[in-house]
Amino acid sequence: MKRLGILTSGGDCAGLNAAIRAITLRAIQQYAMEVYGIYQGTHGLMRRPVSAIKLDLSFCTGDLLRHGGTVLGTTNKGDPFAYPMLDGTVKNLSEEVIEGYRLLELDALIGIGGDGSQDILRRLAQQGGLNLVTIPKTIDDDLSHTEHSIGFMTAVDVATEALDRLQPTAASHDRVMILEVMGRDAGHIALASGIAGGADVILIPEIPYLMNTVAQKIISLREEGRNFALVVVSEAVGTESGEKAKIMDLHGKSRYGGISHYLADRLTELTGAETRFTVLGHVQRGGQPIFQDRVLASVFGVHAVDLIAQEKFDRMVTWQNRQVGDVPIKQAIEGYQAVDIHGALVKTARGLGICFGDENF
Ligand code: F6P
């Protein structure tokens, strides 16, 4: 293995640069490989000339490790198998991506992405005989076979800090504060930050809630003498009738967002409490990675390069039981890691008296 490509794909998160750095350091120092960073995921391989930069050791010094985002850029649009063309048609550009890999004369590729990106990269690898290893990243932490993906822990840290900031203003104004966090269909960010940030109510997609139960919790806090309450809600939680709050962009693509507005209105109606909501949004993805994400990204980067050197392809690196490992990519993306509603964190939250809005409260 002489020439290695790296790309980041899907939504960004904190810790991607730390992974790029670790891959580059390991590949050059241990195996004397040449390393190329490909810009904007598979888009870089579609462009002519291929959009890439040779990475050397000087690239890894200084502040790269500390920076949020990805210096290579990324995209969560433009699946090469169904690429939206300017004229409104959709085209299969997978062969162009594969040709880009050949034009760069790559021997192997490390793709850092979530389940959707890994699925696309794997299909490309199979079609074109590309030597692929993947690294899991997603603030949603929903990839199976790894306890954590890069970006999750920083996102939880940001959400926890938001609760730290909301609590004093909630207490000053006798208010109920609702914090809406990301996570797509998994409630990991809401659950972890809710525990860490002292939430009274945590609403996650994995546990159906009753509005009256949530309202009752707020009322009982007030009866106990508490003048504020903190509610954390995951963006994919629906209304009482199960409708999801979504935002439609100009291209007709929808994403989650806005359920906290609905909850604020309903809670005010039911409790009389003055209620405010904060939609945390992409703040959770940006900023400096906390140490856990830097360490995880470094561990993943080194292991991914070692797999390449051993010619073990079609594998995703993992973190389980304090050990780095790897599983077939197919296995990783076929699974899904939702919140375990009987797991330690849900039990802990219940043990602390946190309400999930369900009948077990
Ligand atoms: O998957 C990561 C994520 O941040 C989700 O938590 C969120 O729903 C979505 O991406 C937002 O996507 P976009 O960056 O397209 O707004």
3-state secondary structure 188-201: HHHHHHHHHCCCCE
d(CA 326, ligand 1 centre) in Å: 26
What phi, psi does 263 have (nearest 5°)? Answer: -65, -40
> Do 175 and 252 fall into the same domain?
yes
Number of domains in the chain: 2
d(CA 226, ligand 1 centre) in Å: 35
Q: Which of 182, 253, 280 to mutate to test the pocket of ligand 1 (most atoms within 8 A of CB)?
A: 182
Spatial contact of 70 and 19, defined as CB atoms under 8 Å apart: no
The CB of 113 under 6 Å from ligand 1? The reply is: no
> Do 93 and 160 fall into the same domain?
no
- The CB-based long-range contact list for 48-54 (8 Å cut-off, 24+ gap) reads 48/103, 49/103, 50/100, 50/103, 50/104, 52/5, 52/104
Q: What is the pLDDT of residue 78?
A: 87
| Residue 335 in domain | no
Q: What is the pLDDT of residue 250?
A: 82
> Do 293 and 165 fall into the same domain?
no
> Do 7 and 129 fall into the same domain?
yes
For the CA of 140, the nearest atom of ligand 1: 6
For the CA of 182, the nearest atom of ligand 1: 6
For the CA of 114, the nearest atom of ligand 1: 1
> Do 175 and 264 fall into the same domain?
yes
H/E stretch holding 326: strand 323-328
> Do 146 and 295 fall into the same domain?
yes
> Do 141 and 162 fall into the same domain?
no
For the CA of 235, the nearest atom of ligand 1: 8
| Residue 356 in domain | no
For the CA of 183, the nearest atom of ligand 1: 6
d(CA 1, ligand 1 centre) in Å: 35
The CATH number of residue 167's host domain is: 3.40.50.460
Enclosing domain of residue 203: 154-284+341-351
Mean pLDDT, contiguous 10-residue spans, the chain (361 residues): 95 98 98 98 98 96 93 94 93 98 98 97 98 98 98 98 98 98 98 98 98 98 97 97 91 90 98 98 96 98 98 98 97 96 98 94 64
Instruction: Pick the catalytic residue from 115, 140, 157, 306.
Output: 140
Q: How far apart are the first and last CA of the chain?
A: 56
> Do 108 and 160 fall into the same domain?
no
pTM: 0.97
| Residue 336 in domain | no
d(CA 274, ligand 1 centre) in Å: 30
- Cα–Cα distance for residue pair 169/1, rounded to 1 Å: 57
Q: What is the pLDDT of residue 222?
A: 97
140 noted as active-site residue: yes
Residue nearest to atom 14 of ligand 1 (CA): 11
Place of tokens 């009274």: 200
> Do 16 and 142 fall into the same domain?
yes
The CB of 236 under 6 Å from ligand 1? The reply is: no
How far does Cα 70 stand from its chain's mean position?
Answer: 14
> Do 201 and 345 fall into the same domain?
yes
Helices (H) and strands (E) in the chain, counts: 12, 15
The CB of 256 under 6 Å from ligand 1? The reply is: yes
d(CA 184, ligand 1 centre) in Å: 7
| Residue 327 in domain | no
> Do 210 and 292 fall into the same domain?
no
d(CA 186, ligand 1 centre) in Å: 12
Q: What is the pLDDT of residue 361?
A: 64
Spatial contact of 245 and 262, defined as CB atoms under 8 Å apart: yes
| Residue 334 in domain | no
The CATH number of residue 85's host domain is: 3.40.50.450
CA distance to 49, 138, 246, 297, per residue, from 135 (Å)? 26, 10, 29, 9
| Residue type, position 180, single letter | E
